[in-house]
A and B are shown apart, each in its own frame.
Chain A
Amino acid sequence: EPEVTQTPSHQVTQMGQEVILRCVPISNHLYFYWYRQILGQKVEFLVSFYNNEISEKSEIFDDQFSVERPDGSNFTLKIRSTKLEDSAMYFCASSEGGRDQPQHFGDGTRLSIL
Chain B
Amino acid sequence: GESVGLHLPTLSVQEGDNSIINCAYSNSASDYFIWYKQESGKGPQFIIDIRSNMDKRQGQRVTVLLNKTVKHLSLQIAATQPGDSAVYFCAEMGGGYNKLIFGAGTRLAVHP
Chain A residues engaging chain B, CB cutoff 8 angstroms: 4, 6, 31, 33, 35, 37, 39-45, 48, 55-56, 58, 89, 91, 95, 98-108, 110
Contacts and interface: CB of A to CB of B under 8 A. Distances in A.
A55 B102 contact: no
Given A39-B2, A41-B5, A91-B1, A104 B98 contact: no
30 contacts: A6-B43, A31-B98, A35-B100, A37-B1, A41-B5, A42-B103, A43-B89, A43-B100, A45-B100, A48-B98, A55-B98, A56-B98, A89-B1, A91-B1, A95-B98, A99-B93, A100-B31, A100-B32, A100-B51, A101-B98, A102-B49, A103-B46, A105-B1, A105-B43, A105-B44, A106-B43, A107-B1, A107-B42, A108-B42, A108-B43
Name the residue among B3, B7, B103 with the largest chain A CB count within 10 angstroms: B3
B41 interface: yes
Contacts, number: 75
Contacts of A105: 1, 36, 43-46
A77 to B, nearest CB: 15
Interface residues of B, number: 31
Instruction: Give me the 6 closest cross-chain CB pairs, A-B, nearest first.
Output: A105-B43, A108-B1, A98-B98, A43-B102, A45-B99, A107-B43
Interface string B1-42: 111111100000000000000000000000110101000011
B104 interface: yes
Interface in B58-112: 89, 91, 93, 97-105
A58 B19 CA distance: 34
A41 B104 CA distance: 7
